[in-house]
Structure formats: C-alpha cells, structure tokens
Amino acid sequence: MIVKQGEYFISNRQYHSHPAISSTGFKYFLSDCPAKYQDYLKRNKGVSGIKKQKDEYAEGTALHIRILEPEKFNNEVVEQPEDIEKRSGARWESFLRDNYDKCVLRRGGIEKIEDMAKAWQYDGHSLAMSLIREDGPVEVSYFWIFDGIMTKVRPDKINHTRNLIIDLKSTKSASINSFRRDVRRYHYDLSAILYKRGYKAVTGNDYDFVWIAQEKEKPYRIAVYAPGEDMIELGEEKLKIAHENYSRCMETGLFPGYPNEITEL
C-alpha cells in the first residue's frame, strides 16, 4: 500500500482501490449528506465482483482510454453482446463478473467512441490534439498529505511543453456558457484546485489547468477552457469547506445522512 508522498505509475484499478481521498470523494462533503461518501466507497469496491458504472460514466471512461491510451482500448473496453438482450438477469450479471475490470458500454458504444476519436483529427480541433500529443505523461497518480489527510489525484495528462495539467471531459454542450454551468454543477473547479495542489506538492511545479471538453453528440465538437480567477477562488473555497467537513467526520467517526425529520425548504 502507498503510504508516502510521491508520483506513482500504477493502474487505474490500483489508484481507485487506494483509501486516500480524491477530488470525487471531497465533493461528497459539499453536500448535507456525508453518508453518501461511504456509499461511494462501497460501490467502488465492486461488491460481489461486479462494478456497475452508469452509462454516461462508462462512456466517459472509454473515451479517456481511447484518446489517452489507445493501445489499451481493445483490452479494457467491451460492449453489451448481441446475444444478451437485457441488462439484467443471470446472463448479464455473469457477463459483468467476467469483465469486472473492464469498461462496459451499451451495444454500439464502441462505434460511437471511435467516431468521437475521429473528431480529434478535424483541423478545428488541432489545439486539443496538440495538448495531448505534446511531451508529458498520461494517467499518472500523485499522493501527498494535504493538511493531515492522505490525498490522491490522477490527472489525465501532464503537458510539460506548456506547463499544463489537462482534464478531458465529455459533455452535452461544449459552449462556454454550458460548460461553465457544468463546472459549477459538478464541482470541476474543486477538482482543478486539488489537481494543481497535488501536482505542486509532489513535483514542486505550479502548472496551470485546462479542460478539453468534447460534446457527446455528432459531430462531437471540442473546446478548450481554463478556469478564470473567480472560478479559481470558488474552487479554493469549496475545497476548504470539503476538507473541513471530511476532517470532522473522520475525527468523530460520524458520517450523517439526511435529517430524520420534516425540514422546511
């Protein structure tokens, strides 16, 4: 088990199985139901050897593999077989058990991911492709002690040519206003701050952060965004709140759920 601060070249599965808290974990402590964090930990362990991903998450995972580590795509991504009609029942559960360590897409999902990958070849998307192809590693894990808490991040790409930390996102719309709403709704701003802190803590390098946002519908257009000053400040404030709430829960051993009473809205 990793117990020291450092840069680690480990698998995605090893990263997610490590008990250090990630940006996803911290986000549960922005809500009024910290108990959901424990639910998340149980799901991530893959109860009964079956790890069930929501379709939108599976699609995003598959896109990451196809763009960042294309040599692994055929071995790590599968789709619903033609001879299994329903995504339930004994045959489906058996299929999931046989592929518990893979990304499972709906039927036709692999073709869609390949089409999304082809969109990166368009002239209008040359910046995104350059950001991924330029010097620097992909899917490297960083562990450090963040104010007394073992914390981890796994940036999609470190670009040494431009001193950037890059996060790839699939989205309904890559327009500036729509993606700005995504950042606020899904707390991507918190993630950006944590990634920057983790990378600097381990390497000493204070890199900037950008998102590459790709739309989920044809023609799968791509845009590149960086957080502005206001967004950075909000992300820092969110991370402070989440860290304090997580620390309190760990100290008390209490992860409260929703109030067991009628609450006025």
Please enumerate in sequence order all residues whose Cβ is within 8 A of that of 35, keeping only pairs 6 or more positions apart, or say none: 255, 256, 257
Confidence at residue 49, expressed as pLDDT on a 0 to 100 scale: 44
Q: Map tokens 């959901």 to a residue.
A: 36
CATH of domain 6-45+122-252: 3.90.320.10
Confidence at residue 53, expressed as pLDDT on a 0 to 100 scale: 63
List the structure tokens of 66.
Answer: 């196809």
Per-residue pLDDT of the chain (265 residues), as tens digits, is 788 999 999 998 899 889 999 999 999 999 889 999 999 888 776 444 445 566 668 999 999 999 999 999 999 999 999 999 899 999 999 999 999 889 999 999 999 999 999 999 988 899 999 999 999 999 999 999 999 999 999 999 999 999 999 999 999 999 999 999 999 999 999 999 999 999 999 999 999 999 999 999 999 999 999 999 999 999 999 999 999 999 999 999 999 999 999 999 9
Q: Which of 264, 131, 151, 150 is nearest to 209 (CA)?
A: 131
Please count the other Cβ atoms lying within 10 Å of the Cβ belonging to residue 154: 19
Q: Quick check: 26 and 157 in contact, CB under 8 A?
A: no
List the structure tokens of 4.
Answer: 């020291």
Indicate the domain borders of the chain: 6-45+122-252
Confidence at residue 47, expressed as pLDDT on a 0 to 100 scale: 40
Confidence at residue 130, expressed as pLDDT on a 0 to 100 scale: 97
Q: Which DSSP string corresponds to 124-180?
A: GGHHHHHHHHSSS-BS-EEEEEETTEEEEE--SEEETTTTEEEEEEEES--SHHHHH
Please enumerate in sequence order all residues whose Cβ is within 8 A of that of 23, keeping only pairs 6 or more positions apart, or say none: 153, 187, 190, 191, 194, 195
One-letter amino acid at 209 equals F
Q: Which of 18, 20, 37, 41 is nearest to 28 (CA)?
A: 37
